[in-house]
Amino acid sequence: MPGYRSRDQVWIWLSMDHPTFLWGENKPNIFNWTMSYRRDSTIKMPFSTMREMTDEEKRKIQTFFYELQKHGLETEILGKCGLGKICTEFKNDNLNYICLQDQLGRYKFYIAFENRFCRDYITEKFWLSLSRNQVPIVAWKFNATGIVPPGSCINIFDFHSVRSAAEYILSRRFKIGGDLCNLCKMCKELHTKRPAQVYTDIEGWLRQDTCEKTRLVTLIFTILNRICFYLGLG
């Protein structure tokens, strides 16, 4: 990190990863802005956005709901732990991706669990399932109001049954879309007259989360737990 900067220069702490992937300590009084998926960032950088749905799109959602009622809910597991890998026959990654989207799109529900319960951490697992017209099943310990379309998912921490959540999905009025040029946002903010600011405790800001920032002892404990699991000792 440079030892000097001009007075009119803005330093931005930028990351799209959750705190458990961040190492080291951030010095105080260094960064002026933050830029991440969190809503309390200076510049919010979500994995996707939402827009108002058209009447035609609303009708499609209703049709989907009635189809869900007529058919039983079956679950299939893909990958090494289930029916095997899919869409790996192409040498071109783009073709594999298109194939995967098409195959996954055959299912009505998609379990979109994140690998950590971190504040505002909603990745492409959720947004891609919406783009496939699926109902994402999520596990969020935070209030996602304002980030995701209302009624667009089933949060296992909110509902006791899939049926009660499916009825709520009918109120969905939004669809993913909108402006996702995050660097454009940053450029716009840099040309906006903002009062000068600096994060006096960037580490404190990072730790205001529902998941912990990784420490060496936590990493060792996680590795030992994984080893015990594979050995059948856990």
Mean local confidence (pLDDT), 175-184? 68
pLDDT at 35: 92
List the structure tokens of 31: 């960064």
Mean local confidence (pLDDT), 183-207? 86
Mean local confidence (pLDDT), 92-121? 78
More confident residue, 84 or 103: 103
51 within 8 A of 174, measured Cβ to Cβ: yes
- Provide φ and ψ at 182, rounded to 5°: -70, -35
Percentage of the chain lying above the pLDDT 70 cut: 73
d(CA 93, CA 89): 10
More confident residue, 10 or 78: 10
Tell me the helix, strand and coil percentages in the chain, rounded to 5: 35, 10, 55
pLDDT at 177 over 80: no
Mean of the per-residue pLDDT values of the chain: 77
- pLDDT band at residue 83, thresholds of 50, 70 and 90? low
- pLDDT band at residue 206, thresholds of 50, 70 and 90? confident
Q: Is 5 exposed, middle or buried (0-12, 13-18, 19+ CB in 10 A)?
A: exposed
List the structure tokens of 38: 């969190």
d(CA 15, CA 173): 30
Mean local confidence (pLDDT), 224-232? 80
pLDDT at 157: 81
Percentage of the chain lying above the pLDDT 90 cut: 4
| Residue pLDDT, tens place only, 43-73 | 888 877 766 767 776 666 556 555 555 544 4
- pLDDT band at residue 32, thresholds of 50, 70 and 90? very high
Q: Domain residues of the chain, as ranges?
A: 12-44+180-221, 52-175
Q: Is 164 exposed, middle or buried (0-12, 13-18, 19+ CB in 10 A)?
A: exposed
pLDDT at 63: 62
pLDDT at 142 over 60: yes
pLDDT at 71: 47
